[in-house]
Structure 1
């Protein structure tokens, strides 16, 4: 007798499901192998390890243990046969579910590459905007360089624009509870520098050493700390020092002595060029993100639940590892961010779907456009990746980046993505 299997059921998400019923002739040797494996770890008086009769072992192990190990013994040949006969190329380990004990029946689900379409490929374009650096930003940068060489003198008068204040402060929410992460001692700011949130420096104008002041400011909508955006915070400030600032002027003599430039004008040009290059990099990053978002939205794909679950696990493991590196417990983070388990689950699910959709869309486009790397290009990519590493570290990981190994495949995927983005952006 031979194994009975139902006709494979394949859907657009790449899921192919088989229902397999094993014969007694197949189960018996697999069960004996399972008993021997389980018995090798058992100690039974009067018998050496691995020499216990099978029937005695059968009485010692639980039926569930035996079934699990028997299935494990049957799977390698079964999976190999199914993938070969049906030309299946799984992209994740198969999902195994026991349907029946007598006769032993399993449901085996393979996940292959799903059907992917990217709509309106020719319309996926991102405009390149000209780089423009504001003269005010250049002046602020020049001021920063000059401030590195400024001198100060303690004063007893009221602070005014251009003076430097040293202060201690903390912030409270609308309930009068202190907000974590805001308390600061010895903080220095030059009035008029606009380095603090809008309205803060104006409140300091006119204060003297040892003065105390309480005022409320609403944080900007675009503030980097999300939990403070648009929130009113009451600040308690104590000024510990006021200094008059003497800032040098940007002259040829000054830049020659302190900034390694021939003239003030040449230094200004150097600053402008540097800021334009930085702005160019920022614009390129924004264009890349815009392109990737357009690809994701244009990608149509039906994702298998198993594929989403695996991506969610990877995301959660990475998230938990990042929290641990920051000495955070998940429960503490959830409490601080006012998150419930179902909130995290929903967030992870959305991220998983978005990441998978984008990844599959990119792969589809790269295959369609024939975007790939030659062996020569990959050799150069590996060399560039390993070059900055210390000799000991390089020797340790270099084998992982030989052709065909995991590191090599990961780097190749990264370079394919970069090459595709460059082609589509015209850079």
Structure 2
């Protein structure tokens, strides 16, 4: 396993990207900067071996992770990712971004993240269940509804959360629905959770577009990633009068200058598990996606997508980060110099964790809300958070990303300062 450094070396890794973001916000923190190293060190990182009996009787081993970055403001919160590229560096960064995200939206959580280095699509359902249950048992000593609450992420879903909840509950001897969020509705899940992240992208995009003089009606939108986040954000922008002219996923890049029929594409994707081959748009080269003339770009896939080179040629006015960490710090500088507004991931895609918070509250109280109530509460929280970040950016004359980090870091470090260090 690669040796990980806790100092920024400028390399293109998720963790070094996060550290550079902390370096940039530190000068704005005043007397709280004394505590800023708190944010450069994960509180706890667990690496587990997961032996799995395959359907053919062979035994394979997979490596799993759970990182709790900071718990000063409450229990850890963050997803579980099943992907072939999962490693400790990535999980540390994702847990740190969750710390910032929860504080930026003012949720009473710290940041955590987990994952297994595996291609879930190469496993049978039985193998996937056995993998999940063993992983849950291995990390069970550090998770819990008052310790650390996992949720779905890339490669996981409500079914995986149900297996995690059941495994944890069996080991505890009683049903504990609040140990995870993103569960099926009938097992304590929340209405509105599946579409929440994409809805949050639209809400924050709407607020920033209004303040930036960008008309959504008639705007051209491009979306990278057409899962829960990208598809819902695209649908809401289309409903508001925008044209979604380019969509990219792992299988293809689609382009239609007149707008892609999202309903037809969704039906095609459901039937074929990919967007490649859809007849309602032209397939173009993947790199050509970054040359499309658009007003709004929504990167909603994986981290590290907007490089400085891509930022130089982007034709857009607004970037809405539906994914975590899609923009390198150097690319941020390029976009800023070109007058492109970036709504950062830690506020833009926080709709998912906001409704996860609602789910956790509902589980703890055993009292559930309607979807209309969920959406209304989320809209209020996301709008207030975005306006606060916008105002902070105007006050400090900085980017929205730096402003979001200022807001979040002040809340986290104030909690750290007032709690003190135990034992002293």
TM-score higher than 0.5:
no
Larger radius of gyration: 1
| TM, length-normalised to structure 1 | 0.24
Q: Give the TM-score normalised by structure 2.
A: 0.24
